[in-house]
A = this chain, B = another copy of it.
Amino acid sequence: MSALNTDLYELTMAAGYFAAQKTQEVATFELSVRRMPQRRNFLVAAGLQQAVEYLLSLRFRSEEIQYLRSLPQFSKVSGEFFEFLGKLRFTGDVFAVPEGTPIFPGEPIAIVRAPLVEAQMVETYLLSTFAFQTTIASKAARCCFAANGRPIVEFGSRRAHSPEAGILAGRAAYIAGCTGTSNAEAGRRFDIPVFGTAAHSWTMAFPDEESSFRSLQALLGESTVYLIDTYDTLEGARLAVSLGRPIWGVRLDSGDLSVLSRKVRRILDASGLNEAKIMATNDLNEDRLAELVSSGAPIDAFGVGTELATSADSPTLSAVYKLVELKRGKKTYYTAKFSGDKETIPAAKQIYRSLGRDLIAHYDECSNSFEGDPLLRPVVIGGELLEPLPSATQIQAYARAAISALPKDLHSLTREAAYQVDVSPALIALRDDLRASHQFVES
């Protein structure tokens, strides 16, 4: 991870804060989503682990500092700033909702409280980390609703936005309920189940389909999945049963999956391979999954690739990272932005969730007066991780329960259902004071 993997303006601002002697000021930034993306009823928070790893390892290497010194934007910047940068570490605090928590627009996914320069420069990396994994986890939750209990394996690495994105897509999809991923590195790095047997090129690399199937079965035994559509799906199914060996099942990757799965099921059953399963792939998404499931297609498992690993119908999230408080000496100043339709609410916040509604309150408002559980928890204090983060499998179990506890109309794939999120009167009053002044509000 390069400390330069950020927007340049984070670094020019760092130089400016340094020059303006603002390095002792403590800023609080809030990471949230502005609007619900189309065709989503809730979001599944993800990305905290990678965000924390980035913060705790943040270092400027000498070649990175050399590069900055070479830029015209830094021509007037003092040498003291670059020395400061060389020693910079993340020394602040992070509060966040646990990964796997369903969240809604306007709710902080994470809050960073740190010396102004540190809190500012991590903006870009944190945004893309949280926004991407949250996007994929939210899409995966929809696919799992559609599959209605049938396992889904995330197969999209080849179509993800870069090889690294493929690894993280595998993680995010698993967190939100997929059974595993095809990405071997995601499996190793995050201890996620991995799946995969053979591609069409395997079949094509043998003189005929039969020898390719025999070789695969010799290798994988009862885990074998024959990909039967390289030349003709039904001939492939007949070949599979003619070999009479123990297999997990077959995979269909083209054609009318509903029709073909029925015909293949009959071929398997007629030969006594009742235990053999059928897996289906081929540009699937939650809509196709729901159609196949409701059509009664005898498909036992799905592989979902491109559309899941890119959240193709809604590939972006309006994630923002906004300054909400600034502490100078003993005084706290609240800050907000009022430009156009991009208003923000000042102050560090807490979210209380109870009975299908959320309340966003000031972080320091007395929680006794609110029903429900606070969602944001301290994760990093003074640059140190408070306790080990949960594994992907632990997160998946938490997410399953938390998604299941949402109002049931939010589980719909097609209907856009609203969820009630209130803002506390104290926060509203603070925002109105600030708007009236176009200035800091002191506390």
Contact = CB atoms under 8 A, between A and B. Distances in A.
Contacts of A205: 17, 22, 25, 27, 116, 323, 326, 335
Interface string A180-204: 0011110110000011111111101
A159 B316 contact: yes
Contacts of A254: 339-342
B208 A439 contact: yes
Given A25-B205, A124-B158, A204-B323, A164 B166 contact: no
A163 B312 contact: no
Interface stretch (A4-12, A402-410, A416-424): A4-12
Contacts of A12: 196-198, 219-220
A363 interface: no
A219 to B, nearest CB: 5
A84 interface: no
Interface stretch (A85-93, A223-231, A287-295, A352-360): A223-231
Given A7-B182, A76-B219, A13 B198 contact: yes
Given A6-B184, A8-B182, A254-B342, A158 B197 contact: no
A440 B440 CA distance: 75
A220 to B, nearest CB: 6
A272 interface: no
Contacts of A159: 127-128, 131, 316-317, 319
A24 to B, nearest CB: 13
A196 B219 CA distance: 55
A229 B338 CA distance: 8
A150 interface: no
Interface centre among A54, A63, A159 (most CB of B within 10 A): A159
A162 interface: yes
A184 B11 contact: yes
Contacts of A337: 200, 204, 230-231
B202 A255 contact: no
A233 interface: yes
A319 B157 CA distance: 12
Interface stretch (A65-73, A364-372, A385-393): A65-73
A285 B200 CA distance: 38
Contact of A125 (B73, B163, B188, B199): B163
Contacts of A432: none
A123 to B, nearest CB: 7
A127 B184 contact: no
A377 interface: no
A197 B4 contact: no
Contact of A439 (B7, B163, B207): B207
Interface in A140-188: 155, 157-169, 182-185, 187-188
A295 to B, nearest CB: 18
A218 B7 contact: no
A306 B124 CA distance: 12
Nearest to A17: B205
A154 to B, nearest CB: 10
A15 interface: yes
A418 to B, nearest CB: 23
Contacts of A6: 157, 183-185
| 4 A-B pairs with least C-beta separation | A254-B340, A9-B196, A161-B161, A8-B196
26 contacts: A2-B185, A4-B184, A5-B164, A5-B183, A7-B182, A8-B194, A9-B182, A12-B196, A16-B202, A16-B215, A73-B194, A73-B197, A120-B201, A124-B158, A128-B157, A159-B316, A159-B319, A161-B169, A200-B322, A200-B337, A201-B323, A229-B340, A230-B338, A231-B338, A254-B339, A310-B315
Given A10-B196, A128-B165, 5 more contacts: A4-B185, A67-B188, A161-B161, A161-B310, A201-B323
